[in-house]
Amino acid sequence: MRHRVLLFAAGLAVVSGIETARALLAGRAVATPEEWQAATSQVRANLQPEDLIVFAPRWADPIGRLYLGDRIPVEMAARADAARYRRIWEVSLRGAQAPEAVGSHPVSTTHHGRIRVTLYQKVPIEVAYDFTSQHGRAHASEFPTDGRGNEVACYSEQSTLHCPETRVEPRILTVDFQPRRGLEFSTSPSHTTRLEFPEARLGKVLIIYTGASEYDTRKHLDAPIHIEVSIDGFRLSEIRHAPGNGWQLTSVDTSRWAGVRHVVRFEVAGAPGGWRNLGLHAEARP
Amino acid sequence: MISLGRMALWLGLMATASLALGGRTEGFNRDEAQYFDAGELYSQWYGELGEAIASGRFQRVRAQVSPEAIDRRFSFNHEHPALMKTLYGFSWRLFHRTLGWLSDAQAMRLPADLAGGLLVALVYLFGAQACSRRAGLVAALLTLGAPRLFFHAQLACFDAPIVTAWLGTIYCYWRSLTDRRWGFWTGVAFGLALATKHNAFFLPILIGGHWIIIAIVAGRRVEALPSARPLVWMALLGPAIEYAHWPWLWYHPIERFREYLNFHLHHVHYNFEYFGKNLNQPPYPFSEPFVLTGLTLPVTTLLLGLGGFGLLFWRWWRKQSAGRTPALLLAVNALFPPSIIAFSGAPIFGETKHWLATVPFLAIAAGIGLDLLSHRCIEVLSLRGRSAQAALALLVVMAVAPALAETWRAHPYALTHYNLLAGGPAGGADLGMNRQFWGYSARGVFPWINAHAPRHAGIYWHDASPTLNISVREGLLRADLHDTGLEEPGVRQADLGLVIHELHFNKYEHWMWDFYGTTQPSYVLADEGVPLVTVYERRK
């Protein structure tokens, strides 16, 4: 009994001591502006055009961009994935690792107080055609999904394609709370939007990312959106994007069309019951 | 020796002063801004009524209590009872407008600070009378040293005042079990609890259930049967006080009370991040309120509280006397508030404010646990005189120091604070736990905005927009800045935009990248390195 009582008291003393000390010294565990300055200066000085900058853990991102945001264009911050980058600069706190760096080869690691800077090397994938970047060359039209009615051409204003019921515009989409650069289709329950790229140079693979771009709509609506992809009129793939699928990757073999320009068409049919926005980003890769 | 009542008074005053002092640097939140407005409106009605009565003209009095005159003031924010808002308004009229002693917000928040002080005093009395003065003191300081309860107790809201009213009702009921005169005060306290917040609807279930268990245990021993007076007074005074204090109910009590109930039964689901998932649809993971309590209360408080309950029930099991300690009453009250959220299919609320009533009961158990441990230590070590006193004092310091240090550390951003188990605010962020809500942290970027925003700049204020009025009145924010409004049009039109970091708010940041042409913030407000608010400027 004596030992048990003293053990409880000792346990209380240890927990109390650790908790009080951690509370009073909490500020010492935080990276200082000088450390951020030193870490990001190293990245800035060695940055090359095909490099990606990431921060880990993800919640540190705004502070990282405070120091390096001028070197992180919107296209990089809202990337679909990290495939096209040759090197990755990972600025990390608390020993965290960015998911983009997993599987890449670390070339160098430097410590700046509480911040670690690691440079990773990887094999980049060349993008033959970026459909989001090339959206200005696309034509849009809209037709009733049930086939009872005519196809109507959409008009372009600034960078947005306006259709009677729907709209397509390049945006930063928020999919699963992450930024994703792509084309936003405001879908309609009754109409299908057709987006056609007349001269898309294809590679061996067509990568298509889809995502519902607004959490509110997912909350209220659970019917899937249908996306049909065709090349030169040949129906290549049908994608069903259901709520909860996140940033969904579909990869299609396009070897037989590789190296030449083709007509690529995306048809997006909204879910019955209401409107919802769909985000889409596609790339032709070798 | 200082009397129990006087000690309670001193502790209450000390707690009130701490809260009032803390409140000077605490941000204003979305809901609080509504209650400030309601407080002004409600107190205005009472002022006009006073003037009408003083004029001696019956017609004026009658006009003032007409349905139209009442609705003009009380239809605003009628989803909550009027007691606390009316007190906030009275305090504002007296201490700000009439005497000029306090600023708008300080005066509005004063009744909440006093309610917090009363809570600490009551906890002390409960602990001291149930066990010992040492238990009461430790319990009182652990209640004050609960970071999130301290945060809520500074605000002119209802989440901490309802804890006071809840504890007050339970305390009176407990006293009524041995002294029938407390039955009346149980009814009064219950009425005030109903007038504070709807959480009080659950009190009759708790008290009635406890009363039935005691009655069953008493069996046929008539002298051991508990008095039914507290239940009778609760049934009589509860609805009477609720009705009398709230003019909005006067002319249509049934239909308006139903409207009030329906608002809360069909409450909108909030967004709440829990282990990286954005909860915004029921059902709740039943673990949520328990896990969140486990990750936000100081670990020492949790261990002592659980240890205290363990000791109390062990003694009960061994049929040893636990003195007057109401082990069952304390345990049920500690467990019931989070259980309502966990098991009732309640709308998604998420934050600890909805089950803060757990804290004082856990703290009392912790105080009792420490007291029992202290006695055993002295006994085992055979300490006497000064060495015994020193050992006792050391144990008290060990019990309360972490709680007070954690509360100090958490201020003013306690909603971002997580405990030692989680690894502090950064650990909470790593775990993907809710960062904050209510937009209160925006106050931290006001100095930067005051210094850097161009004259007459249009600003997207995000979740902080309802607090602009009070912030300008308090002199915290320049008056020339304007609000560009809500959602996408508000972001598009602004020269500067704020993003208050919560998982479901990420889209606003992405809009700013799109519309302002940059991903580089101009300013980031952080708590221990964890971003709370980010400010973007449109690139020229």
Q: What is the mean pLDDT of residues B49-55?
A: 96
Whether residue B183 sits in one domain with residue B129: yes
Kindly provide the residue ranges of all beta strands, DSSP E only, lying in B189-303, ordered along the sequence. 272-274, 277-279
Instruction: Classify burial at A232, counting beta carbons within 10 Å of its beta carbon; exposed 0-12, middle 13-18, buried 19 or more.
Output: exposed
Whether residue B283 sits in one domain with residue B381: yes
| Per-residue model confidence as pLDDT tens digits over B102-155 | 999 999 999 999 999 999 999 999 999 999 999 999 999 999 999 999 999 999
Instruction: Classify burial at A278, counting beta carbons within 10 Å of its beta carbon; exposed 0-12, middle 13-18, buried 19 or more.
Output: buried
**What local confidence, expressed as pLDDT, does residue A216 receive?**
62
Whether residue B446 sits in one domain with residue B324: no
| Per-residue model confidence as pLDDT tens digits over B69-92 | 999 999 999 999 999 999 999 999
Is B276 among the domain residues? yes
Q: In B, which residues are within 8 Å of A68 by CB distance?
A: 520
**What local confidence, expressed as pLDDT, does residue A11 receive?**
95
Whether residue B399 sits in one domain with residue B449: no
In this structure, which amino acid lies at residue B525?
Answer: L
Interface check for A96 against chain B (CB to CB < 8 A): the answer is yes
Interface check for A260 against chain B (CB to CB < 8 A): the answer is no
Mean pLDDT rounded to a whole number for chain A: 93
Mean pLDDT rounded to a whole number for chain B: 95
| Per-residue model confidence as pLDDT tens digits over B214-250 | 888 877 777 778 899 999 999 999 999 999 999 999 9
**What local confidence, expressed as pLDDT, does residue B322 receive?**
47
Partner-chain contact A19 B298, CB within 8 Å: yes
Preferred mutation among A1, A3, A4, A12 to probe B, highest tally of B CBs within 10 A? A12
**What local confidence, expressed as pLDDT, does residue A189 receive?**
87
Whether residue B353 sits in one domain with residue B499: no
Of B303, B501, B503, the CB nearest to A15: B303
Q: In B, which residues are within 8 Å of A74 by CB distance?
A: 513-514, 517-519
- Number of domains present in the structure of chain B: 2
Q: Quote the ipTM score.
A: 0.95
Instruction: Classify burial at A105, counting beta carbons within 10 Å of its beta carbon; exposed 0-12, middle 13-18, buried 19 or more.
Output: exposed
**What local confidence, expressed as pLDDT, does residue A272 receive?**
72
- Listed as own residue / partner, the contacts of A40-45 with beta carbons closer than 8 Å and 24 or more positions apart are A40/A64, A40/A67, A40/A68, A40/A91, A42/A110, A42/A112, A42/A117, A43/A68, A43/A71, A43/A89, A43/A91, A43/A117, A44/A68, A44/A71
Of B280, B429, B510, the CB nearest to A59: B429
| Per-residue model confidence as pLDDT tens digits over B363-397 | 999 999 999 999 999 999 999 999 999 999 999 99
Give A 129-158 residues with CB within 8 A of chain B.
none
Whether residue B386 sits in one domain with residue B522: no
Residues 6+ apart with CB under 8 A from A232: A257, A262, A263
Residues A81-102: b if buried by 16+ CB within 10 A, e if exposed = ebbbbebbbbbbbbeeebebbe
Handedness of CA B251, B254, B258, B260 (dihedral sign): positive
Is B101 among the domain residues? yes
Partner-chain contact A62 B303, CB within 8 Å: no
Domains defined along chain A, listed by start: 32-121 (no CATH), 129-285 (2.60.120.260)
Whether residue B501 sits in one domain with residue B373: no
Is B435 among the domain residues? no
Instruction: Give residue B346's pLDDT band: very low, low, confident or very high (50, 70, 90).
Output: confident
| Per-residue model confidence as pLDDT tens digits over B481-497 | 999 999 999 999 999 99
| Per-residue model confidence as pLDDT tens digits over B494-540 | 999 999 999 999 999 999 999 999 999 999 999 999 999 999 999 87
| A175, closest residue in chain B (CA to CA) | B507
Is B20 among the domain residues? yes
Examine the pLDDT at B283 and tell me if it is beyond 80: no
| Per-residue model confidence as pLDDT tens digits over B444-454 | 999 999 999 99
Give A 2-61 residues with CB within 8 A of chain B.
2, 5-6, 8-9, 11-13, 15-20, 22-24, 26-27, 29-31, 57, 59-61
Residues 6+ apart with CB under 8 A from A29: A114, B424, B426, B528
Is B411 among the domain residues? no
Spatial distance between the Cα atoms of B529 and B308, rounded to a whole number of angstroms? 36
Whether residue B269 sits in one domain with residue B128: yes
| Per-residue model confidence as pLDDT tens digits over B158-187 | 999 999 999 999 999 999 999 999 999 999
| Per-residue model confidence as pLDDT tens digits over A119-171 | 999 999 999 999 999 999 999 999 999 989 899 999 999 899 999 999 999 99
Examine the pLDDT at B289 and tell me if it is beyond 90: yes
| Chain A, chain B: beta-carbon pairs less than 8 Å apart | 145
Examine the pLDDT at A54 and tell me if it is beyond 70: yes
Is B470 among the domain residues? yes
Is B152 among the domain residues? yes
Whether residue B471 sits in one domain with residue B391: no
Partner-chain contact A6 B503, CB within 8 Å: no
Partner-chain contact B280 A219, CB within 8 Å: yes
Q: How far is B192 from chain A (nearest CA, A)?
A: 37
Q: What is the mean pLDDT of residues B458-477?
A: 97
DSSP calls for B504-515: GGHHHHHHHHHH
**What local confidence, expressed as pLDDT, does residue B324 receive?**
56
Spatial distance between the Cα atoms of B125 and B175, rounded to a whole number of angstroms? 11
**CA angle centred on B266, ends B260 and B271, rounded to 5°:** 120
Residue with the bigger pLDDT between A1 and A45: it is A45
Is B311 among the domain residues? yes
> Residue B141's closest CA among B162, B121, B114, B166?
B121
> Residue B436's closest CA among B512, B535, B530?
B530
**What local confidence, expressed as pLDDT, does residue A219 receive?**
59
Last residue of a domain, one of B380, B405, B430: B405
Tokens encoding A63: 């502070």
Last residue of a domain, one of B405, B425, B455: B405
| B435, closest residue in chain A (CA to CA) | A59
Whether residue B18 sits in one domain with residue B159: yes
**What local confidence, expressed as pLDDT, does residue A277 receive?**
86
Whether residue B446 sits in one domain with residue B399: no
Partner-chain contact A19 B517, CB within 8 Å: no
| Per-residue model confidence as pLDDT tens digits over A233-245 | 999 999 999 878 8
Whether residue B468 sits in one domain with residue B391: no
User: A249 - beta bridge partners?
Assistant: A209
* Parent domain of B515: 440-537
